[in-house]
Amino acid sequence: MAAAPSAVSVNGVKIGTTSQAYLESKAVKETKTLVSELCRQFYTLGWVSGTGGSITIKVHDDSIPKSEQLIIMSPSGVQKERMEPEDMYVISPDGSTLFTPSPKPYPHKPPKCSDCGPLFMKAYEMRDAGAVIHSHGIESCLVTMINPLSKEFRITHMEMIKGIKGHGYYDELVVPIIENTAYEYELTESLAKAIEAYPKTTAVLVRNHGIYVWGDTWISAKTQSECYHYLFDAALKLHQLGLDWTTPDHGPIQSVRGVPRTVCGSNVSAKAQKTNHEVEPLPRCILLDIEGTTTPISFVSEVLFPYARNNVGRHLSATYNTTDTQDDIKLLRSQVQSDLEQGVEGALPIPSDDAGKEEVIAALVANVEAMIKADRKITALKQLQGHIWRTGYENNELEGVVFDDVPEALEKWSALGIKVYIYSSGSRLAQRLIFGKTSHGDLRKYLSGFFDTTVGNKRETRSYVEISESLGVDKSSDIFFVTDVFQEATAAKAAGLEVVISIRPGNGPLPEKHGFKTVTSFSEI
């Protein structure tokens, strides 16, 4: 069946995307074959057994915008491991059926488009996906059942997290959980709300049911699905061993003053006893600034900045042809060009590569020195500084410094099941370096993630809203932010975070009647 054709160019020939010629084109046939092959593979993995689960892929064609590409979808209620290309449905971008497979003889059921169809379409519509996979894998079902009150699955410090788009080993992976219904199409609204509420997620779990995973391409969707299932399986096995997969050190599941602590991202807060026998809910997350909060300002101003400034030329010369340094130079060129157009003081033109390595480096050094002198909080500078400092730490020329009360507090919060994150104007690499090599050892095991200025300026409210959405907390007040900067505290408070200001030796003065609680040590938190 076909609708009114829209003209596109396929293999140099203009035809309609819904014409019979296009439905029989090589691209459509190859995608049908791919879906049937993946159905067989996913059956062996236990993702689509018992006729459950489904897969859908867009017909890729460079001449057609992704939003207008046709969709190949496996049928519902059939033996997925026996699927053939001709058994696949062809769906238009608006969700209407363009091709229905022919019925097979008894005892096969008549063909039926996947009940997941409306949910697939939401992922395509809201995330511009290239493929969506729905798995009934037992791992994705069981992790939603350990804590029936949990609204999220959370895990950190596992290598396979790197296989999820936008995540690294030290990041916390958060997957929203929605409640199951009798019919899959009834999940459409709750899935859409979860996609909207968790802008960085590439999957949604359905309690007692399975998972929906999407990617920019079928390879991305498949890779991420494999990583999700691995992480779910790891979480289940850690739970069986009495270990907590939601904390960086994966230590024993703890109790807080006799109250068992839940895992799997429960939205039920643990309780801590106060000395007057009142009960106070613990924050779900603590967000820490570095300079003037965990680390003396003097370490940054008198050690790190001078080291970066004094080693710019040496670093650029020694690493000039590396990928990292070429990326740094590209970013600096873009920043300097913008500075020149805006008349920023200290900005100097950077010659083209044809001028030679030495002249390029000399111009870069001059610009970087001006940026450091002005204490500019810009990504181009922070990224380069991070790479320079990395070399310093590797050569044992630098060692991270934190206040003496910080390690004990981090260990305590970790034992209580509180996730701790860092938000600093320094790059995420620079942050990891400070905590990765200190006189107290590697403190990264207590940290669930790192945020830098790529999420926004630290003095802007929107940045803290973005962090709240990324962490997936039920409400912004579940995050407790500690900083030494009044403007940052004000911005975070406006976003709904709980805020306290850190008073440390060397910190700048605060406005009178600033209105915030203050602490001089993390032991007071």
Which helix (H) or strand (E) element contains residue 421?
strand 419-423
Strands (E) located in 240-300: 255-256, 259-260, 271-273, 279-281, 285-288
- The 3 state secondary structure assigned to 176-226 is EEECCCCCHHHHHHHHHHHHHHCCCCCEEEECCCEEEEEECCHHHHHHHHH
- Which one-letter amino acid corresponds to residue 290? I
CB neighbours of residue 319 within 10 Å:
16
How many Cα neighbours within 13 Å face the side chain of 404? 1
How many Cα neighbours within 13 Å face the side chain of 504? 26
How far does the chain reach from its first CA to its final CA, in angstroms? 66
The interaxial angle of helices 357-373 and 379-394, nearest 10 deg, is 100
> DSSP label at 261?
P
User: One of 159, 196, 408, 524 is an active-site residue; which one?
Assistant: 159
Distance, in Å, from the CA atom of 224 to the CA atom of 382, rounded to the nearest integer, reads: 30
What distances in angstroms separate CA 102 from CA 1, 56, 99, 107, 152, one per listed residue?
12, 19, 9, 14, 41
159 is catalytic: yes
Q: Is 420 exposed, middle or buried (0-12, 13-18, 19+ CB in 10 A)?
A: buried
Which helix (H) or strand (E) element contains residue 155?
strand 152-156
CB neighbours of residue 240 within 10 Å:
8
- The catalytic residue positions are 159
